[in-house]
């Protein structure tokens, strides 16, 4: 099994409830070992000595659905900002940088409360001036450079409705150094260079707005999940909220959800679990714990027969059809995954795939939405 496939299997396991201190199943083909540190951090290890390589990552059980309703996109913004360093990484002088960054945070909070165009322009000009001053102290991309120096590849992160993941592969002889960097990057992060990162997020939003199929999918989700944030909020955030990014709420989100008992460390590759667990304990055991807010129970009413929504968004005719299924952890989920594979797969041999090969349609896709609260297949 490829490292990436193993990693995402472990990632899926990390967002379910894991209570055992140590667990290994003899029937498990990847020999998954599960640990829970004293601070509540879940550790998932899969040994594979075939290549001198390790695929590792950290997963946080907080995603787009956890965004405040008045500040959507926060989880995704935070994903971007956690590449900007900490109080001791990413700055030549944090003591001098901090007052400027605090001022920028205050200005963004003020911007969100200001409606007049002239007032907003004035605040934005001051944000720009303060950002230029703060940039004099920032070391751009220091985290990426440190990871690159140890031979890392595929350095990336992504945000889903349920969780946020930070991951990359690296040579196995660099595992202790990688653990040191990853344990450090989530302690006292500093959201510097925020203004320039906003442009990156704006571009993502603009690409989505220019894509009729993305807009059609968003409309489908809003119709399918009429109450739940799955459909009523988008991961990237609404245009209004993107124009008024509240930095202080991003720090609040980090404080609430980025705690050891709500996170998981995942490693798959060339290492011995008994050798690296003491290192993991030493480096990650200092992570703080916290009380994670309970997620509300959003009830979705039964569909009133077949519900159809027609919109004009795509240059050609397209249709999205969805069915309610089961949430993560349900006993029927494995059977559902097999069923999905019979409908569409990489070999293009599924029943839906044949519609393409037979010339009936231009493209098909099956989207299994294995959510924690309300599952679906589209």
* Confidence tier at 2 by pLDDT (50, 70, 90): very low
Euclidean distance between CA atoms 35 and 13, whole angstroms = 12
Instruction: Residue 165: give the domain boundaries.
Output: 3-62+142-187+258-284
The reply to whether 267 and 356 lie within a common domain is: no
pLDDT of residue 151: 97
Strands 42-47 and 263-269 turn out to be parallel
- Mean pLDDT value of segment 207-228: 86
Identify the pLDDT of residue 217: 84
- The pLDDT of residue 26 is 63
Residue 10 within any structural domain of the chain:
yes
- As a whole number, the mean pLDDT across the chain is 89
Structural domain contains residue 67: no
CA distance 307 to 124: 45
Mean pLDDT of 250-276: 96
Rounded to an integer, the average pLDDT of 196-223 is: 85
Gap between the Cα atoms of 262 and 172, Å rounded = 27
Phi, psi of 365 (to 5 degrees): -155, 145
- Domain assignment of residue 193, yes or no: no
Is the pLDDT reported for residue 207 higher than 90?
no
**Do 371 and 277 lie in a common domain?**
no
Report in angstroms the alpha-carbon separations of 131 from 92, 140, 196, 251: 15, 13, 9, 18
Query: Of 87-91, 144-148, 312-316, where does mean pLDDT reach its minimum?
Result: 312-316
Supply the CATH number for residue 278's domain. 3.30.830.10
- The verdict on residue 303 lying in a domain is no
Query: What is the total count of domains within the chain?
Result: 2
Say whether both 274 and 363 belong to one domain.
no
In a shared domain, residues 183 and 265:
yes
Q: What is the pLDDT of residue 11?
A: 57
Over residues 156-183, the pLDDT tens digits come to 999 999 999 999 999 999 999 999 999 9
Q: Does residue 360 lie in a domain region?
A: yes
Closest residue by Cα to residue 52 from 274, 266, 270, 273: 270
Query: Which band of pLDDT confidence, cut at 50, 70 and 90, is reported for residue 7?
Result: low
**Does residue 302 lie in a domain region?**
no
**pLDDT band at 276, cuts 50/70/90?**
very high
Last residue within a domain, chosen from 269, 284, 299: 284
Residue 78 pLDDT: 95
Same domain? For 263 and 347 the reply is: no
* Residue 350 lies inside a defined structural domain of this protein: yes
3-state secondary structure of 223: helix
Residues 264 and 370 reside in one and the same domain:
no
Q: Based on the domain organization, do 18 and 163 belong to the same domain?
A: yes
Of all residues in the chain, the percent with pLDDT exceeding 70 is: 92
**C-alpha torsion 252→257→258→262, nearest 10:** 170
Task: Confirm whether 120 is domain-assigned.
Answer: no
Q: How confident is the model at residue 250 (pLDDT cuts 50, 70, 90)?
A: very high
pLDDT-derived band at 1 (thresholds 50, 70, 90) equals very low
Q: Which segment, 6-15, 88-97, 189-198, 335-344, is predicted with the most confidence on average?
A: 88-97
């Amino acid at each position: 099994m490829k490292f990436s496939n193993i990693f995402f299997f472990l990632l899926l396991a990390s967002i379910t409830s894991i209570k055992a201190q140590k667990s290994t199943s003899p029937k498990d083909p990847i020999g998954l070992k599960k640990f829970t540190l004293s601070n509540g951090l879940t550790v998932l290890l899969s040994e594979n000595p075939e290549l001198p390589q390790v695929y590792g990552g950290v997963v946080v059980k907080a995603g787009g659905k956890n965004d405040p309703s008045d500040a959507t996109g926060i989880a995704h913004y935070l994903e971007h900002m956690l590449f900007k360093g900490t109080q001791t990484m990413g700055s030549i002088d944090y003591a001098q940088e901090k007052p400027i960054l605090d001022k920028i945070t205050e200005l963004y909070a003020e911007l969100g409360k200001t409606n007049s165009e002239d007032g907003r322009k004035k605040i934005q000009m001051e944000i720009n001036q303060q950002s230029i001053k703060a940039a004099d102290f920032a070391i751009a991309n220091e985290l990426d450079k440190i990871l690159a120096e140890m031979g890392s590849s595929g350095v990336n992160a992504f945000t889903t409705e349920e969780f946020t993941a930070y991951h990359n592969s690296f040579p196995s002889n660099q595992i202790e150094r990688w653990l040191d960097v990853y344990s450090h990057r989530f302690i006292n992060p500093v959201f510097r260079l925020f203004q320039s990162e906003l442009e990156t997020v704006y571009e993502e939003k603009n690409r989505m707005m220019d894509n009729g199929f993305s807009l059609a999918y968003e409309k489908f989700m809003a119709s399918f999940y009429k109450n739940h944030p799955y459909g009523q909020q988008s991961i990237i955030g609404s245009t209004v909220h993107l124009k008024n990014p509240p930095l202080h709420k991003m720090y609040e989100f980090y404080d609430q959800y980025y705690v050891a008992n709500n996170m998981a460390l995942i490693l798959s590759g060339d290492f011995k679990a008994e050798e690296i667990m003491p290192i993991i304990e030493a480096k990650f055991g200092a992570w703080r714990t916290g009380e994670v807010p309970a997620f509300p129970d959003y009830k979705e009413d039964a569909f009133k027969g077949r519900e159809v929504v027609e919109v004009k968004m795509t240059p050609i005719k397209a249709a999205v059809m969805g069915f309610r299924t089961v949430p993560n952890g349900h006993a029927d989920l494995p059977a559902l995954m097999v069923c999905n594979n019979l409908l569409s797969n990489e070999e293009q041999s599924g029943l839906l795939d044949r519609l393409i090969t037979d010339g009936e349609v231009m493209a098909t896709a099956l989207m299994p939405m294995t959510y924690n609260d309300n599952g679906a297949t589209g």
